[in-house]
Amino acid sequence: MAPGNLTWVTEFVLTGISDQADLQIPLFLVFLVIYGLTVAGNLGIITLTSADSRLQTPMYFFLRHLAIINLGGSSVIAPKMLINFLVKKKTTSYYECATQLGGFLLFIVAEVFTLAVMAYDRYVAICNPLHYMVVISRHICLLLAFLTYLYGFSTGIVVSSSIFSLSFCSSNVINHFYCDIVPLLVLSCSDTYVPETIVFISASTNLVLSMIIVLVSYFNILLSILRIRSSEGRKKAFSTCASHIMAVTVFYGTLLFMYLQPQANYSLDTDKIASVFYTLVIPMMNPMIYSLRNKDVKAALNRFLTNSCNSFK
C-alpha cells in the first residue's frame, strides 16, 4: 500500500459479542446480572476476610487478593462492554484500548500466579503443618502478593507496549467485546513477528511455570493425604483444598482449551466464548466456589450478618 493511501487509526470499533440489534438488551441484562454478582461476591469475600478475626490466616489472605484480582479484572472489561450494548457507536479511543489491554493482562497474569501461590500454600499447610506459620509468615505473604502484582503489571506494560508499537491503518474494527491481543494483531498493517514472539514467550512461560507449581504442589499433597491412616483425617485434609482444586480446574481448563486447540479450528467467535468465561464468568463463580464449600467463610458470613443486624437494631 502506498504511504499516501494509509489512514492511521485513532479509535477502534468493538463488534461486541453479537451484532444483532434485537439481542443487545437481553445480553445487556444477562451481563449486568453477571457483573453485579461478581462485584457483590468478591466484595463480600474481601470484607469477610478483612473484618473477621478468625479468617486472618495465609489461606484467606491469598483468597482476599484473588477476590481483588477477580474484581479488578472483570471491572476492566464489563463496564465498557455493558455501555456498548446500549449505544450504536461502539468506539473506544486508541489510548483507552491500550489501557484496557494492559489492565486485562495485569489481572489475568496476577490471577495465574495467585492460584499457583495458593496451591503452594495448601502444600505447606498439609505436608509441613508444624512449619506452616514460619514458611508462610505474614512477611512472606505480603512479599508474594507484591511480586504477583508487580509481575502482572510488568507483563501488562511490556506486552501492551509491543502490541501498540505496531501501525494500525485503514480497518479499525476489532472483532471482539474488548481490546484483546489476537484481534489487534489481525488489524495491524506492519510486521507482527516481534510482538507475536513476545506474546508467545510470555503466555507459554506464565502458563507452564504456574501449572508446574500447581501440579507439583498437588502431587505432594496427594502423596501426603494417602499416607494419612484415618479416613476422617484424609477427608479433612482434602476438604482444605477442594475449593481451590475446583477453581484451578475451571480456570486452567479454559486457558488450555484456548491455547491447545488446533490452529485449523481456531476462530475469533470461539475465542469470544472462552474470553467471556475467564473474564466474566469465572470471577463470578470463584466467590461461590470458595464460600459454598467452606465452613469458615459461611460461619464468618453468619457472624457478619448477625452483628450487622444487631447494630442496625
Assess if residue 26 is contained within a domain. yes
107: CATH: 1.20.1070.10
pLDDT at residue 293, as a whole number: 66
Assess if residue 2 is contained within a domain. no
Q: Which three cell numbers stand for residue 79?
A: 463496564
56/58 Cα distance (integer angstroms): 7
* Domain encompassing residue 49: 9-303
254/250 Cα distance (integer angstroms): 6
Assess if residue 308 is contained within a domain. no
pLDDT at residue 239, as a whole number: 80
Assess if residue 312 is contained within a domain. no
Assess if residue 4 is contained within a domain. no
C-alpha separations of 189 from 6, 45, 166 in Å = 10, 45, 8
Cβ–Cβ under 8 Å, residues 148 and 61: no
Domains in the chain, number: 1
pTM: 0.91
pLDDT at residue 265, as a whole number: 57
- pLDDT tens over the chain, length 313 residues: 444 445 578 899 999 998 888 999 999 999 999 999 999 999 999 999 998 888 899 999 999 999 999 999 999 999 999 999 999 889 999 999 999 999 999 999 999 999 999 999 999 999 988 889 899 999 999 999 999 999 999 999 999 999 999 988 778 899 899 999 988 998 988 889 999 999 999 999 999 999 999 999 999 999 998 888 888 878 877 887 888 888 999 898 888 777 666 655 566 677 788 889 989 999 999 998 888 767 778 777 777 777 767 666 6
Cβ–Cβ under 8 Å, residues 92 and 80: yes
Assess if residue 24 is contained within a domain. yes
Assess if residue 119 is contained within a domain. yes
pLDDT at residue 152, as a whole number: 97
Among 243, 228, 216, 232, CA closest to 129: 228
Assess if residue 309 is contained within a domain. no
Q: Under 8 Å CB-to-CB from 57, ≥6 apart: which residues?
A: none
Q: Under 8 Å CB-to-CB from 120, ≥6 apart: which residues?
A: 213, 217
